[in-house]
Amino acid sequence: MFRVRFAPSPTGELHIGGARTALYNYLFARKNKGKFIIRIEDTDQERFVPGSLDRILQGLKWLGLEWDEGPDIKGEFGPYIQSERLELYQKYAHELVDKGSAYYCFCELSRLEILRELQQSQKQPTKYDRECLKLTPDNVKERLARGEKFVIRLKVPEGKTIFTDKVRGEVCVDNSNLDDQVLLKSDGFPTYHLANVVDDHLMQITHVIRGEEWLPSTPKHLLLYEAFGWQPPEFAHLPNVLNDKRAKLSKRKDGEAVWVQTYERDGFLPEALTNFLALLGWHPQDDREIFSLEELVKEFDLDRVQKGGAIFSMQKLRWFNAEYIKKLTLVKLDNLLKPFYKALAQTTGQKIGTTRALTQILQSRLIILKDINEFTHWYFVSDFKLTADILIPKAGNLAKTKSALQLAYELLIDYGDKKWEVEELRNAFEVLVRPGTFTRGELLWPVRVALTGERQSPDVFEVAFVLGREECLKRLLDAQKVLA
């Protein structure tokens, strides 16, 4: 059975690149009826950010990427948080020392720094010089007995490391380019490399699908598998996510939104984001673009993951989002908009009743849910600052405008039992537009401005429909007072 994992470090929110990695792992697992595992890599205590574990998990849940084993689900390979597995790594590090594949190093930081500076000044690669490999076993014992601080380093063997990456093809590295990597730090914590390999092995991971930035670490990992005598998993390194300047999408730079939670807050839909992320480095067999998560599961294949960087286009993501908003049922969209409506209502101290009608006219206009802030000023204001200046159309005059507002008012007073619907309202008003009486602009401009207080707004009949008869009458009356 295929087993894959997403292994975030709790150093912040869920990054958009991380979400793409998680998604590909999820799709691969579901497609192959395998298992999708979440493992938390928190051995770098300095970078740990409290609260981030929960936020990362919440982000994954919001995207709909359910996992089979993880920190919150008991599984037979747990615990799934590395800081709860420290003894294991210590045991395995010492095992490598016993096997002669790793060694104790007692060098002080100050020595390592001098060494690095020297190598840099001589334009040599910066590597540990194996000073401690010269120690005799008795030396080592003595120093350990004295309680000296130590790290455990991998003894990189001579030769070449070659492997076939499922995305990048054959990768070959001369081991002489690899440093004797620290495996266990002096505080007893493992480094990423050791913990990652030990866990992938113990958790029986069959495919490691991760970002391209980990490609240089893979030869080191393979040397570890070899030293332990373990069968390595398959590797697939996903292309970098690039911004429109072809630079790697990094952490918050130039206002780039890189956190999944930012998208959630602004009103992107998870379905739109997963659809968009799936196509960020992978393409389907045909030129379809809209895919539900289930459809992606069916289509996904590592063979169609590209090598070159994938460009993150905000415009494209927004297009997806608008498409998904259009597909929602009215009830669903209205529910999703509720928190946004509430926030707006709070700013005006207004009570919100039913918003269904408002949602209905907004559905085709929204790109992200947050856009309602711009489209609904006229709904969430209690007092307009109407002036004669904006009520009177450019080509109109005061008298005409006054009578237009009066006429509209009367029309609504006598509306009778006609249906309160956009088209019905349109028909009722259109009758008043006649040559010699009112042009469309002369009649409808002041009515629309009276109802919205704005030069630009949705169609006057849509607005009237949403506001309801009573509110329309009130606003028309107020507008007439402004002109009185």
Q: Where does this chain bind ligand GLU (CB under 6 A)?
A: 7-9, 41, 196, 210, 214
- Residue with tokens 């037979």, as numbered in its chain: 76
Instruction: Report d(CA 379, CA 352) in Å as an integer.
Output: 10
Least Å distance, CB 176 to ligand GLU, is 24
Beta carbons within 10 angstroms of residue 432's beta carbon: 17
* 3 state DSSP class of 185: coil
Least Å distance, CB 53 to ligand GLU, is 12
Least Å distance, CB 13 to ligand GLU, is 13
Nearer to ligand GLU, 183 or 368 (CB): 183
Nearer to ligand GLU, 22 or 449 (CB): 22
Least Å distance, CB 258 to ligand GLU, is 14
Burial of 124 (0-12, 13-18, 19+ CB in 10 A): exposed
Number of helices (H), then strands (E), in the chain: 20, 11
- Residue with tokens 């595992």, as numbered in its chain: 37
Respond yes or no: is residue 251 known to be catalytic. yes
Instruction: Report d(CA 7, CA 160) in Å as an integer.
Output: 28
Pair of tokens at residue 343: 């926030």
Nearer to ligand GLU, 161 or 196 (CB): 196
Instruction: Report d(CA 152, CA 105) in Å as an integer.
Output: 6
Instruction: Determine which one of 61, 251, 298, 307 is catalytic.
Output: 251
| 3-state percent breakdown (helix, strand, coil) of the chain, nearest 5 | 50, 10, 40
Least Å distance, CB 83 to ligand GLU, is 13
Nearer to ligand GLU, 214 or 415 (CB): 214
Beta carbons within 10 angstroms of residue 342's beta carbon: 11
Nearer to ligand GLU, 10 or 270 (CB): 10
Nearer to ligand GLU, 196 or 480 (CB): 196
H helices present in 135-292, as ranges? 137-145, 192-202, 218-228, 260-266, 270-278
Long-range contacts of the stretch 225-231 (C-beta < 8 A, 24+): 225/197, 225/201, 227/96, 227/99, 227/101, 227/102, 227/154, 228/92, 228/95, 228/96, 228/197, 228/201, 230/201
- Residue with tokens 């992107």, as numbered in its chain: 268
Nearer to ligand GLU, 163 or 415 (CB): 163
Beta carbons within 10 angstroms of residue 363's beta carbon: 18
Least Å distance, CB 5 to ligand GLU, is 7
Question: What residues have CB less than 8 Å from 403, skipping those under 6 apart?
Answer: none
Distances (CA, A) of 36 to 198, 205, 239, 435: 18, 10, 21, 70
User: Can you say whether residue 31 is alpha, beta or left, with left for phi > 0 and alpha for psi between -120 and 50 degrees?
Assistant: alpha
Vertex 350, ends 349 and 353: CA angle to 5°? 150
Least Å distance, CB 7 to ligand GLU, is 4
* Cis peptide, bond prior to residue 219, ω within 30 of zero: no
Beta carbons within 10 angstroms of residue 257's beta carbon: 17
Least Å distance, CB 44 to ligand GLU, is 9
Nearer to ligand GLU, 195 or 269 (CB): 195
Nearer to ligand GLU, 9 or 401 (CB): 9
Least Å distance, CB 169 to ligand GLU, is 20
Instruction: Catalogue the active-site residues.
Output: 251
